[in-house]
Amino acid sequence: MKRIAIATLGCKVNQFESAAFASGFEARGCELVPFQAEADVYVINTCTVTAKAGQQSRQMIRRVLHEHPGARIVVTGCYAQMDPETVLNLAEQPVAIVGNGNKHRLVAAALAEHPPDLVLLMGKIREKKEICPLPVTRFRDRTRAYLRIQDGCDNFCSYCIVPYTRGPSRSLPLAGVLEQARVFTDQGYRELVITGINVGKYGLDLAEGETIYTLLDRLCRALPACRLRLSSIEPTEVNDALLELLGRHPNLMPHLHIPLQSGDDTILARMNRRYTRAEFAAVIHRVHRALPAVTIGCDVLGGFPGETEAEAANTYALLADLPVGYLHVFPYSRRPGTLAASFDRQLPGPVKEERVRRLRGLDAVKRQALYQANVGRVLRVLVERRQAKSGLLQGFSENYLPLVFAGATPLIRRVVPVRLDAVADGQPLGILAEDLLEESGQTR
């Protein structure tokens, strides 16, 4: 029995794909062990969306090569796809490099009885026409499962390396989506996170007549006892069909993550984002008017090349005025191979750091306001784990609030009613609805 260790950096799609690797290894009788343990095969699923992610990928490859010279090393993911030569230069021993378009061949390459000194399964990712078949039997140590329905991107935002590492948009055929969802629900998962690189483009490359909206409707009707959550969707893809689905299906979670990136029209044009600040604001207000209980989150970049103080202030002001609940804030990261890497007036680190600091301060304000607005509400929380330090249970509500509360261990992996009772040090604190009934003398 071979011992397999898998490390995953980066996005939810990478996490889904690593779960597929784990399923494939287990099907072949292998034992999965923690990445820190001794193993026969180490798989590193890398990321390169930022310079820091690329650096972390290199560090992990170096460490495994140094600490486990006798093991078989398999490197895959976006860093391996973008820069296989560097991976080769890091290695002084046989190594397998598997490109994103060939991840379905990774398990066989890792377990080959007599591998050559080098396994290089790359291919031209931009020529890929079909999504990799990567079935998953279960997500280890997770209460929510990621359901990958799509891969690749055709947007070519000027700062983003993903279209070059993931290839064109490719969708999983409907039968594959439904089968994977069934496997997850049969395994007892109570929430599926619908994920991909650009999920709003689902189905457009297939001849099945499906879209992200028809797919969500199918899944909601087929899995009434399972919570469904969209991982992210572009502002240009938020429309009446999506809002109608959110209003009609109680198992489609009232939570949308809609990337902004910049709130200044000049910067948005240089980013090759296909909307203006006014159009983005209209989308957010439209969602809020139709469904006030929906939590809206945004991605935003600080310190894009050439961004002036006035342009940065425009972004801050737009977000401050919009009814969004939280921000994911990132400093602009220069990625070789992208258009923005060649732009003049690349901003120095301290300028980017200051703009990121201001935006993260706004994020803290937004989160506090979101939590306070929900105080007194009874929310449906999927319990994920018990905190080691506090001993409290924690999980996410339907509108993506991270609640902690006292409760018994058997509640883990269940959806339970919790009243948001207070906010302390930025953390929403809850009380089980059953406990509230007991305190008031009522029966359950």
CATH number of 242's domain: 3.30.750.210
Q: Does residue 175 sit within a domain?
A: yes
pLDDT, residue 127, reads 84
Q: Is residue 416 scored above 80 in pLDDT?
A: yes
pLDDT band at 115 (very low <50, low <70, confident <90, very high): low
Mean pLDDT value across residues 175-179: 97
Q: Does residue 282 sit within a domain?
A: no
For all residues of the chain together, what is the average pLDDT?
93
pLDDT, residue 114, reads 67
Q: Which of 345, 373, 401 is the last residue of a domain?
A: 373
pLDDT, residue 126, reads 82
pTM of the entire structure?
0.92
Q: Is residue 438 scored above 90 in pLDDT?
A: no
Of 95-104, 394-403, 421-430, least confident by mean pLDDT is 95-104
Whole-number percent of the chain with pLDDT over 90: 85
Sorted by sequence, the CB contacts under 8 Å of residue 114 that are 6+ apart come out as none
pLDDT, residue 295, reads 98
Q: Does residue 357 sit within a domain?
A: yes
CATH number of 70's domain: 3.40.50.12160
Q: Is residue 216 scored above 90 in pLDDT?
A: yes
Query: 397: alpha, beta or left, given left = phi > 0 and alpha = psi -120 to 50?
Result: beta
Could you give the CA distance from residue 444 to residue 436 in angstroms, rounded to a whole number?
Answer: 10
Q: Where are the alpha helices (DSSP H) in 249-302?
A: 265-271, 277-290
The answer to whether 59 and 86 are in contact (CB under 8 A) is no
Task: Output the CA–CA distances (angstroms, integers) from residue 94 to 97, 149, 154, in the order listed.
Answer: 10, 34, 35
pLDDT band at 396 (very low <50, low <70, confident <90, very high): very high
- The DSSP symbol for 194 reads E
Q: Which of 97, 123, 149 is the last residue of a domain?
A: 123
Residues 179 and 247 in one domain: yes
Work out whether strand 295-302 and strand 326-331 pair parallel, antiparallel, or are unpaired.
Answer: parallel
Q: Does residue 400 sit within a domain?
A: yes
CATH number of 414's domain: 2.40.50
Helix (H, G, I), strand (E, B) or coil at 406: coil
Q: Is residue 444 scored above 50 in pLDDT?
A: no
CATH number of 368's domain: 3.30.750.200
Could you give the CA distance from residue 142 to residue 298 in angstroms, rounded to a whole number?
Answer: 25
Q: Does residue 264 sit within a domain?
A: no
Measured distance between the N- and C-terminal CA atoms of the chain, rounded to whole angstroms: 50
pLDDT band at 70 (very low <50, low <70, confident <90, very high): confident
Residues 42 and 84 in one domain: yes
Tens-digit pLDDT profile for residues 117-138: 556 666 678 888 999 999 999 8
Could you give the CA distance from residue 108 to residue 133 in angstroms, rounded to a whole number?
Answer: 14
Helix (H, G, I), strand (E, B) or coil at 76: strand
Sorted by sequence, the CB contacts under 8 Å of residue 341 that are 6+ apart come out as 334, 335
Mean pLDDT value across residues 207-219: 97
190: domain range? 127-253
Q: Is residue 238 scored above 90 in pLDDT?
A: yes
Residues 175 and 132 in one domain: yes
pLDDT band at 443 (very low <50, low <70, confident <90, very high): very low
pLDDT, residue 80, reads 92
Could you tell me which of 169, 88, 76 has the C-alpha nearest to residue 122? 76
Residue 377 has which token pair? Answer: 């509400």
Residues 229 and 136 in one domain: yes
The answer to whether 148 and 134 are in contact (CB under 8 A) is yes
Residues 359 and 294 in one domain: yes
Helix (H, G, I), strand (E, B) or coil at 272: coil
Q: Which residue has the tokens 């948005």?
A: 268
Q: Does residue 279 sit within a domain?
A: no
The answer to whether 399 and 253 are in contact (CB under 8 A) is yes
Q: How many CB atoms lie within 10 A of CB 224?
A: 9
Sorted by sequence, the CB contacts under 8 Å of residue 278 that are 6+ apart come out as none
Q: Is residue 201 scored above 50 in pLDDT?
A: yes
Q: Which of 123, 148, 165 is the last residue of a domain?
A: 123
The answer to whether 321 and 282 are in contact (CB under 8 A) is no
Q: Does residue 258 sit within a domain?
A: no
Q: Is residue 442 scored above 80 in pLDDT?
A: no
Could you give the CA distance from residue 262 to residue 257 in angstroms, rounded to a whole number?
Answer: 15
Q: Is residue 304 scored above 70 in pLDDT?
A: yes
Residues 143 and 246 in one domain: yes
Residues 304 and 230 in one domain: no
pLDDT, residue 118, reads 54
Tens-digit pLDDT profile for residues 21-38: 999 999 999 999 999 999
Residues 177 and 241 in one domain: yes
pLDDT, residue 90, reads 85
Q: Does residue 204 sit within a domain?
A: yes
Q: Is residue 441 scored above 50 in pLDDT?
A: no
Mean pLDDT value across residues 286-311: 98
Could you give the CA distance from residue 38 to residue 181 in angstroms, rounded to a whole number?
Answer: 33
pLDDT, residue 440, reads 43
Residues 119 and 147 in one domain: no
* Choice between 123 and 150, residue whose per-residue pLDDT is larger: 150
- Cα torsion 125, 130, 134, 135 to 10°: value is 170
Mean pLDDT value across residues 211-240: 97
Domain count along the chain = 4
Residues 135 and 245 in one domain: yes
